Chains A and B, each alone.
Chain A
Amino acid sequence: MAVIERTRPVVTNPSPVGPRTGLRKYWHLYAAISPFYLIFLGFGLFPVGFSLYLSFHRWDGLGSMEWAGLSQYRYLLSDSDFWNSIGNTVVIWALATFPMILLAMVTAVMLNSAVRFKSWYRVAYFLPNVTSVVAIAIVFGSIFSTNNGVVNAVLHGVGIDQVAWLNTPWGIKVTIAALMTWQWTGYNAIIFLAGLQTIPGELYEAARMDGAGPVQTFFKITLPLLRPTLLFVLVVSTVTGLQSFSEPQVLLQTSSNDSTFAGGPGHSGQTMVLYFFQQTFDNNDFGYGAAVAWGIFLVVVLFSIINWRLVRRRGD
């Protein structure tokens, strides 16, 4: 679209050939950008639309679909397990995101002023983000295991009782949050670093001339100018955090034959997406699964709006 608008003046100029419609004149431009739209149509838009259609039906995936009206959504509203999974997701998201943003910002400020091995640090901080979640979850499962885990060994070392991390409601949430924090801190530090580097050096010089200390500089210059970056980081971590799936799934699966989407004892680690999987693929209830998916969509939209508002208003 941007391409079209930029070249529009050419169309308004009188040309000897006579007026031609946009589509006929610029068909090759449309053609050039079409692969994305065609693929999106087939693999993005169609499934989204179909899931909406599905959510008004009962379907076991094989037989015939049965019209269900709004009953799937009505059931969704009264489904305590769904609300519980929203609660879990939000708690895990909060436990992961706020420490992560703090750590990422501190890391970014340090990276920005580091003198040596700058690029080495950047690569090192980025590595957790490109490591397979499954591998990380298996390692975290060992680190947080009750009798032989490193975390409990450290706690024991300082005289604190063992915690059954993967067997208690809060332990499960903290472990998942720790995993997500570890995975995303480096990535967001790099984003913050990019934001930091757009802040003009003169501002800092002026601040120094006026006698501002490093703390004052951070809160009066760095933080306000970093707000757009902060918004980006917050929105992205909201969207990914609210859709967390692999982390609890791998961390909490057991070898016994119960569901791999249950999210541990008391469903304490069952996030919204895990619940969606359980309803859809364990119970073979595709209609309700689709309704759950749309419920998740609304929650994510709601959170994105809240995020946007919070950060924007303070900025203006």
Chain B
Amino acid sequence: MRLSRRGLLRAGLAGTAATALGGLATGCAVPTGSTGRDMVLWYWSGGLSDTVVKNAKTRFDSSVDLRAIQIGGQYRSKLITTITGQAHIPDIAGLKGEDMAAYLPNADQFVDLRTLGAERYKSRYLPWKWDQGIADDGTMVGFPIDCGPVAHYYQYEVFREAGLPYEPADVSRQLSTWEAFFDAGEQLKKRVPGAQLLTDVSSVFNNVVEQGAKRYVDKDRHFIGDQEHVRRAWDLAVEAKRRKIVSDLVSGTPDQLSAIEEGKLPSQLGASWASFDIKNGNPKTKGRWRIADMPVRPANSGGSFLSITKACREPERAFQIITWILDAANQAQGYVDAGLFPSTPASYDLKQLREPDPFFGGQVTTDVFGPAARKIVVAYNSPYDIALGTPIKDEIKNVGVLGKDPKKAWSDAMSKCRRIAKHLGVSY
């Protein structure tokens, strides 16, 4: 008994010492980036086409071992943790569009793609998308993967029953202003009992803001969320509520999904990737949907980038891989595999994007998304946009869902923004 206990203690000690020493030793030797022939690529599930990634592996096999890793969960947190920790930083990193505002002020963590000859490729990509990957100081951080042009999804039969235009071209032409769109909503409500055009006021507010070239904070770190462009979006959202063309449901809930299935919510303003949400959420509505232009002009929602980190030992090779993965032909494959709408206009004429989609009654959806993608205007994406846009978005939601007085809601939003702006050092 004594012996075995002592033995156990010794073993425990030896184990602990080994772990501690080993930990210390490796602690000193943790490589900043990849090792050996490895070229590590970080992306997330659905962030790139798996087929293209696999092809890239074989294609560049002679020079590097491309190790593509799908990172689950909170992607941005994991990436910035790795970069801050200076350990095992990937050579090539995917960057989500909504996170760009957080990366761009730290452009020094990435390789400036201009130094690798990125300008040569510029003409092949959507100009506004190209600009989104560039930091204030001109450093090009992100190389365009996909974009998310927003369009008007609607149910053909319901529109027809309501006496509204129902062919995509007619819907695009006749519902081309918010005024006409809201009128259509009122007509729908009258003709189809219990039906409402949109799920919530937020979809009006967010899309009107996103359509414009300004958001909440400008380049000079000045709060502009109290200006005309936001005010107008707010007023339109309030009008949608007043005219009762929006439901009081929450998107993504069982209530909303069943309302969509019953044709009670026949419209949605969604990005190109939203077609996957509709297909998954309402598989029974197959064939009932069509896609038309969003009123006024298209907006963009989502879409991501590839970047080369400072830890990369072979930036030229990495850039070669990136430009190959994201050329027009491979982006078309990305559209088929993962619904990534190409940022390369040349892809729009390729056969993968010309397939009629039975879910949308045989419509070729690229006919809507393609031209929409070219018409998007770029807005300055400030790192403070999320903090200062949230109070306004929250308050418009309160108006829509809780029935809060719009005047009170607006002044609450503004006083909250003033406080947050002061805290973040944004001038008001």
A265 touches B106 (CB 8 A): no
Q: A31-B9, A267-B394 are in contact. Are A148 and B258 (CB under 8 A)?
A: yes
Q: Which of A75-131 contact B (CB under 8 A)?
A: 75, 78-81
**Cα distance A255–B293 when bound, in Å?**
22
In the assembled complex, how far is the CB of residue B353 from the closest CB belonging to chain A, in whole angstroms? 24
The reply on B12 being an interface residue by CB < 8 A is yes
Which residues of chain A are within 8 angstroms of B20 by Cβ–Cβ distance? 38
The reply on B109 being an interface residue by CB < 8 A is yes
The reply on A147 being an interface residue by CB < 8 A is yes
A284 touches B102 (CB 8 A): yes
The reply on A240 being an interface residue by CB < 8 A is no
**Cβ-defined partner of A28 (8 Å) among B10, B81, B259, B398:** B10
A253 touches B252 (CB 8 A): yes
**Cβ-defined partner of B84 (8 Å) among A28, A62, A262:** A62
Q: Which of B230-254 contact A (CB under 8 A)?
A: 248-254
Among the 9-residue stretches B40-48, B317-325, B361-369, B383-391, the one with 4 or more Cβ atoms under 8 Å from chain A is: B383-391
Which residues of chain A are within 8 angstroms of B404 by Cβ–Cβ distance? 266
Interface residue count on the B side (C-beta < 8 Å): 56
The reply on B3 being an interface residue by CB < 8 A is no
Q: Give the one of A32, A62, A63 with max B CB within 10 A.
A: A62
A60 touches B16 (CB 8 A): no
**Cα distance A65–B281 when bound, in Å?**
43
Which residues of chain A are within 8 angstroms of B387 by Cβ–Cβ distance? 282-283, 285
**Cβ-defined partner of A141 (8 Å) among B254, B419, B423:** B254
Which residues of chain A are within 8 angstroms of B416 by Cβ–Cβ distance? 80-81
Which residues of chain A are within 8 angstroms of B206 by Cβ–Cβ distance? 257
A254 touches B102 (CB 8 A): no
The reply on B35 being an interface residue by CB < 8 A is no
In the assembled complex, how far is the CB of residue B272 from the closest CB belonging to chain A, in whole angstroms? 14
Q: Please count the residue pairs between chain A and chain B whose beta carbons lie under 8 angstroms apart in the complex.
A: 120
B258 touches A60 (CB 8 A): no
Among the 9-residue stretches A166-174, A178-186, A187-195, A218-226, the one with 4 or more Cβ atoms under 8 Å from chain B is: A166-174
A32 touches B9 (CB 8 A): yes
B12 touches A283 (CB 8 A): no
**Cα distance A28–B200 when bound, in Å?**
66
The reply on A307 being an interface residue by CB < 8 A is no
The reply on A302 being an interface residue by CB < 8 A is no
Q: A32-B13, A62-B83, A285-B387 are in contact. Are A148 and B254 (CB under 8 A)?
A: yes
Which residues of chain A are within 8 angstroms of B423 by Cβ–Cβ distance? 71, 75, 288
Q: Please give me the residue from chain B that is nearest to A253 by CB atom.
A: B252
**Cα distance A296–B301 when bound, in Å?**
35
A62 touches B254 (CB 8 A): no
B9 touches A147 (CB 8 A): no
Which residues of chain A are within 8 angstroms of B83 by Cβ–Cβ distance? 62
A63 touches B250 (CB 8 A): no
**Cα distance A31–B15 when bound, in Å?**
10
In the assembled complex, how far is the CB of residue A278 from the closest CB belonging to chain B, in whole angstroms? 8
The reply on A61 being an interface residue by CB < 8 A is yes
Which residues of chain A are within 8 angstroms of B251 by Cβ–Cβ distance? 254-256
B394 touches A63 (CB 8 A): no
A60 touches B10 (CB 8 A): no
In the assembled complex, how far is the CB of residue B387 from the closest CB belonging to chain A, in whole angstroms? 4
B250 touches A34 (CB 8 A): no
Interface bits B1-43 vs A (CB < 8 Å: 1, else 0):
0000010011011001101100000000000000000000000
The reply on A305 being an interface residue by CB < 8 A is no
Which residues of chain B are within 8 angstroms of A32 by Cβ–Cβ distance? 9, 12-13
**A interface residues (Cβ-Cβ under 8 A, vs B):** 28-29, 31-32, 34-35, 38, 60-63, 71, 75, 78-81, 141-142, 145-149, 164, 166-169, 253-259, 262, 265-267, 281-285, 288
3 A-B pairs with the lowest CB-CB distances in the bound complex, closest first: A255-B252, A31-B13, A62-B106
**Beyond A60-B105, A81-B416, A281-B77, 10 extra complex contacts between A and B, CB < 8 Å:** A60-B106, A61-B102, A62-B105, A62-B109, A63-B106, A166-B253, A168-B402, A259-B390, A265-B398, A283-B386
25 contacts between A and B (CB under 8 A): A34-B16, A35-B19, A38-B19, A60-B102, A60-B106, A61-B77, A61-B84, A62-B83, A62-B84, A63-B106, A78-B419, A142-B254, A147-B259, A148-B255, A166-B250, A169-B402, A254-B250, A254-B253, A257-B206, A257-B301, A258-B397, A281-B77, A282-B390, A283-B390, A284-B383
